[in-house]
Amino acid sequence: MSLLSPEKWQEAKEIFYAALRRTPAEREQFLNESCRGDDDLRREVQSLLSASESAGSFMQNPAVNEIAEALAAKKERIPLNQSLGHYRILNLLGQGGMGEVYLAEDTRLERKVAFKVLPSAFAQDAGRMRRFVQEAKAASALNHPNILTIYETGEFENTKYIVSEYVEGETLSERLHREPLNLKVALDIAIQITSALQAAHRASIVHRDIKPDNVMIRPDGVVKLLDFGIAKLTEKQSDVDLGSEAATAIKINTTPGVIIGTANYMSPEQALGKTVDARTDIFSFGLVLYEMLAGKRAFEGENAIEVISSILQTEAVPLSRLRPEVAHDIERIVGKALRKDREERYQTAKDLLIDLKDAREELQFQKKRERSHAPPRDQVETQIINAATTDAAQSSSRAERIIAQVRNHKLGFIVLSLLVLAGIGLGYWYFSHRISIANQIESIAIMPFINESGNADTEYLSDGMTEALISSLSQLPRLNVKARSSVFRYKGANTDLQQIAKELNVQAILNGRIVQRGGDLSLYVELVDIAMDKVIWSRTYNRQMTNLASLQSEISRDVSNNLRAKLSGPDEQRLVKNYTENSEAYQLYLKGNFEWNKHTREDLQKGIEYYNQALEKDPNFALAYTGLAACYGVLGDEYLPPNEGFPKAKDYAAKALSIDGALAEAHTAMAAVRLYYDWDWAEATEELERAQTLKPNDPSPHLLRSDLLIALGRVDEAHAEVKRARELDPLSRLFNTVDGADSYLGRQYDEAITQLEKTINLDLAFNETYLYLGLAYEQKRMYQRAIETFQKGMSQTERHPQLIASLAHAYAVSGRRDKALKVLDELREISKHSYVSPYLFAVVYTGLNDKDQTFAWLDKAFEDRSLFLIWLKVDPFFDDLRDDPRFQTLLRRVGLPS
């Protein structure tokens, strides 16, 4: 068929697509009309339509899904036909995280063998290799017909290999993909696996990695269990003994490009990182049996994390629902193998084997009976009814039991977090040799812990623990800890760690996952050295919620130890200091912080409630007082007259200090009150110094000091302070904006514009970013630009009174008085239902060149003790008034040099 011309092709496409949406009956007429006697066109469309019908799902699944295969395709390490000693490599049978398997010929004994090459990473640890080889050989030495026989292990040119019997056939995994198994075949396979397990367990060998891929089925039906001991290579108990729960710590290391194992067949205790025994094999086997019978896995998920959570938390769909012909006794066997609590599981493979064999006999017996004398119809029905009644009787009691177990189980659920980590490989047991840290880590970002509880209500806990850790580690003098606002930008974003490290300029990143169930809490943390791209330390903490407070200090200590940051005595003391022994109080405090961080009026009120509740539980909990001080400070700044909010803030800060004079946060809170409300520069400076001595890496005091210095007209020093704050918290909205604001107040408008536009481009803008940008434009007499900027600020953020007042001012000074008055009305309207600082009205009136009104409002601002007044000396808004004696008086009253 000749190709249509491009123009005609366009037409053909359209007609084709329109025809597609018509019923075949309508098409004929439609085509007649549309093609108007053009036979070539008509033929092409007709042909496309029939091609479309036969296309089915052609190309519907993007080829890009193959990209991983394409890109990750590894080269075979051993060329075919290569001889290694007396083995000749014939063919690659398979490859994976645990190495490649080749079909080879043993030229000496003239037999085919499976030749498995281990990944070099595993071969480096001699002790581990030895234990693995011992176990593999021990299993092989059992001479069990269902255990793969190992002939030899060896090394050739630094390549470790294992030579074993070559089993022709397919893996159970392949078999399951190919066809569903009938009950008898499934039981046959199950019995052979269990039989192998029984022999191994009797010799105290635990497989640890039972899964369909490790089961080979020969064409004659004989099953061979593969890879005993392999798991020994990949799991390792922590060798850093950090406490009684060290046994739960698992060291994880990533080996780029290597995937080991799959999470789907893990037992709950494996997932929890506990020590495992033979019963782990029983659970994994239960999963395999379930899959053979149900035709699907018991626990699935989008990724390893989900799979693990479902292994830990959910019950598999009952087999009988997926496959009704599965007999009750078989369902019971699977259920008992899959008990999450190993104490409730089959305790031995032997018991399991007995039950499986009984089930098979029962099945055979039934089949035989069905075959030999098909009973008359009514008889069958009677039997079924009988069976149903007995079943019902049994199952009711069984059901009750199961429900009771589920309930108990949920209550006593000790969950833990997953060993699996975002950013690096998931859920695989990598073995690691200990890495020595050449360079001491001096900067770290603690990423927001991931809340795995599946419940947004516990977000305060994951966020709170993160913040607590940031706060606690910030006390280390030689460690630069990125502040909250910098790291929380990445919350939920799944950004590459290297990328984050680059953006934040840190050497290490701490990741964590947290799961809370009832009274139990599990926290998994890992420390990643960015330069080495390695997890240098990781640990799972399983704790009662009642030990929450001490957990935080414990983690701080562990992390700092692993950073090799040397702690002085007092440092250590501060780091592990418990601010409250009462875990309920601590939780309430974390909830309070969570609300506080949201900063809206309602959230602040909620925060206040939580902090107060925390204080009911522990009246001496200084941090909760600091939280209250912070809430009232923000309220007094934004939502209440300062003379209502700040006195409370001051009381609470004082209360916190009376409980704990060495609490940096309390000194910072007090400094804020001294600066913004008392206008006492000396006292503020002193408090800031105390806070900074106690917590050198907290950026907040730098910010306060910058605000103070700029008020006094010390522009360069103010800039230096902001710079320091930004170093500690590079992605902070506030610090980036304050940097620009300082330039504005320092009359460096071009610098202000550059910095603020950069902040907007960085996506860090909030209302004040637009505010100061607009103000800088205004001072450069770029009024239209200023107006647009204020308007943009309102549409991008909120119609904040500050933006509104500034807009009115810009209209006024650019000669659009009517517009200015209209905007002023809006400000008045707002002030009817919420607090608007009188200072902002003064701003508008000074724009309107109404001096009397301006001073009246400034006086009112003074009465309210508006914090804006501290910048009166440098504020460009009031330049026209500076010569007025009233202004000089006001400056003096605020305590500013004229």
Partner 1 sequence: MLREWSDGKAEALENLLPLVYAELHRQAASFLRKERPGHTLQTTALINEAYLRLIDRRSVNWQNRAHFFAVAAQAMRRILVDYAKAKHRKKRGGNDIKLSLDGVTLVASKEKGIDLVALDEALDKLSERDKQQASVVELRYFSGLSLEETAEVLHVSRATVARDWESARAWLHRELTK
Residue 423: what residue type? Answer: G
Least separation, in Å, of the C-beta of 758 and partner 1?
A: 8
Task: Give me the least distance between CB of 326 and partner 1, in Å please.
Answer: 25
Q: Where are the alpha helices (DSSP H) in 79-125?
A: 120-123
Contact residue for partner 1 among 183, 252, 424, 504 (CB under 8 A) = 424
CB of 290 to partner 1, least distance (A): 17
Asked if 468 and 552 count as a contact pair (C-beta separation under 8 A), the reply is: yes
- In this structure, the number of other CB atoms found within 10 A of the CB of residue 67 comes to 10
Give the DSSP per-residue string, 623-686: HHHHHHHHHHHHHHHHTS-HHHHHHHHHHHHHHHHHH-TT-HHHHHHHHHIIIIII--HHHHHH
Contacts of partner 1 in 758-817 (CB under 8 A): 761-763
The binder of partner 1 chosen from 23, 54, 158, 436 (CB under 8 A):
54
- Give every CB contact of residue 327 below 8 A, 6+ residues apart in sequence: 183, 359, 362, 363
Question: In 531-601, at which residue ranges do the beta strands (DSSP E only) sit?
Answer: 534-544
In whole angstroms, the minimum distance from the beta carbon of 53 to partner 1 comes to 9
Nearer to partner 1, 80 or 411 (CB): 80
Instruction: Give the list of residues 6+ apart from residue 513 with CB closer than 8 angstroms, or none.
Output: 417, 418, 420, 421, 449, 450, 452, 523, 524
Closest CA to 354 of 367, 369, 338, 337: 337
Q: Provide, rounded to whole angstroms, the least separation between the CB of residue 303 and partner 1.
A: 6
Binds partner 1 (CB under 8 A): choice among 229, 268, 335, 425: 425
Q: Which residue number, 9 or 365, has a Cβ lying nearer to partner 1? A: 9
Q: According to CB under 8 A, which residues from 4 to 23 bind partner 1?
A: 4, 6, 9-10, 12-14, 16-17, 20
User: In the range 290-309, which residues lie near partner 1 by CB under 8 A?
Assistant: 301-304, 307
Q: Residue 843 and residue 858: Cα distance in Å, rounded?
A: 9
For partner 1, the closer of residues 500 and 738 by Cβ is 500
Among 299, 318, 317, 296, which Cα is nearest to 308's?
299
Residue 502 or 566: which CB sits closer to partner 1?
A: 502
Out of 226, 356, 446, 867, the residue judged to bind partner 1 by CB under 8 A: 226
Q: How far apart are CA 59 and CA 68, in angstroms?
A: 17
Which string of x and - marks every residue 679-718 that binds partner 1 (by CB under 8 A)?
A: ----------------------------------------
> Within 742-761, which residues bind partner 1 (CB under 8 A)?
761
Kindly tell me which of 13 and 433 has the beta carbon lying closer to partner 1. Answer: 13
Strand partners, 216: 171, 224
Question: Could you say which of 67, 109, 403, 435 contacts partner 1 (CB under 8 A)?
Answer: 67
Q: Which is nearer to partner 1, 10 or 408 (CB)?
A: 10
Residues 263-292 touching partner 1, rule: CB under 8 A, are 263-264
Q: Which of 26, 28, 66, 863 binds partner 1 (CB under 8 A)?
A: 66
- Quick check: is 678 catalytic? no
Distance of closest approach, residue 176 Cβ to partner 1, in angstroms: 12
Identity of the residue, 307 or 691, whose beta carbon is nearer to partner 1 in the bound complex: 307
Q: Which stretch binds partner 1 (CB under 8 A): 278-286, 423-431, 457-465, 565-573?
A: 423-431
Instruction: Pick left, alpha or beta for residue 586 (phi over 0 → left; psi -120 to 50 → alpha; otherwise beta).
Output: alpha
Of 98, 250, 664, 752, the one binding partner 1 (CB under 8 A) is 98
Smallest distance from partner 1 to CB 497, Å: 10
Residues 508-537 that bind partner 1 (CB under 8 A): none
Tell me the window of 66-74, 124-132, 518-526, 865-873 that interacts with partner 1 (CB under 8 A). Answer: 66-74
Query: Please, what is the minimum distance in Å from the beta carbon of residue 161 to partner 1?
Result: 14
Q: Which two tokens stand for residue 745?
A: 């107040």
Distances (CA, A) of 1 to 34, 38, 40, 306, 666: 21, 15, 9, 52, 84
- H-assigned helices in 257-376: 268-271, 278-294, 304-313, 319-322, 328-337, 349-372
Assigned token pair, 365: 């017996």
Nearer to partner 1, 423 or 448 (CB): 423
Q: Which amino acid makes up residue 128?
A: R
Query: How many positions of this chain bind partner 1 (CB under 8 A)?
Result: 80
Restricting to residues 426-465, name those near partner 1 by CB under 8 A: 426
**Would you say 532 and 443 are in contact if contact means Cβ atoms under 8 Å apart?**
no
Task: Return phi, psi of residue 219, to 5°.
Answer: -55, -30
Q: Which residue has the tokens 């003790």?
A: 865
Q: Which of residues 333-352 bind partner 1 (CB under 8 A)?
A: none
CB of 881 to partner 1, least distance (A): 40
> Can you tell me whether residue 526 is helix, strand or coil?
strand
CB of 3 to partner 1, least distance (A): 6
Query: Where does this chain touch partner 1 (CB under 8 A) — which range of 58-66, 623-631, 636-644, 868-876?
Result: 58-66
Among residues 849, 855, 875, 890, the alpha carbon closest in space to that of 742 is found at 875
In one-letter notation, the amino acid at residue 178 is R
To partner 1, the closest distance from the beta carbon of 268 in angstroms equals: 18
492 binds partner 1 (CB under 8 A): no
Kindly state the tokens that stand for 79.
């060329």
Give the x-and-dash track for 197-216 against partner 1 (CB under 8 A).
Answer: --------------xxxx--
Strands, E assignment, 62-98: 83-84, 87-96
Contact 424, 528 (CB under 8 A): yes
Among 87, 99, 189, 415, contact with partner 1 (rule: CB under 8 A)? 99
Q: Least distance to partner 1 from the beta carbon of 793, Å?
A: 19
User: Which 240-259 positions form the footprint of partner 1 (CB under 8 A)?
Assistant: 254, 256-259
Q: Cβ closer to partner 1: 15 or 183? A: 15
Name the residue nearer to partner 1 (CB basis): 70 or 682: 70
Residue whose tokens read 């032997």? 350
Q: Calculate the alpha carbon distances from 143 to 137, 197, 199, 203 in Å.
A: 10, 13, 9, 12
Under rule CB under 8 A, residue 32 binds partner 1: no
CB 345, CB 336: distance < 8 Å: yes
Minimum gap (Å) between residue 17 Cβ and partner 1 = 4
Sequence-distant (≥ 6) Cβ neighbours of residue 670 within 8 angstroms: 629, 650, 653, 654, 657, 687
Q: How many CA atoms does the CB half-sphere of 598 hold within 13 Å? A: 16
Interface with partner 1 (CB under 8 A), residue from 51, 203, 393, 531: 51
Report how far residue 661's alpha carbon sits from residue 168's, in angstroms, rounded to the nearest whole number: 75
H or E, element range at 486: helix 484-488
101 binds partner 1 (CB under 8 A): yes
CA dist 752 and 718 (Å) reads 14
String of contacts with partner 1 for each residue 68-97, x by CB under 8 A: xxxxxx------x----------xxxxxxx
Site track for partner 1 across 164-203, x = CB under 8 A: ------xx-xx-----------------------------
Query: Which is nearer to partner 1, 55 or 247 (by Cβ)?
Result: 55
Structure tokens at 561: 């130890």
Of the candidates 106, 188, 209, 355, the residue annotated as catalytic is: 209
Nearest to 727 by CA among 528, 491, 442, 494: 442
Region of 22-30, 54-62, 605-613, 863-871 interacting with partner 1 (CB under 8 A): 54-62
Q: Can you read off the two tokens belonging to residue 805?
A: 């007042």
Task: Pick the binder of partner 1 from 37, 62, 376, 897 (CB under 8 A).
Answer: 62
Active site residues: 209
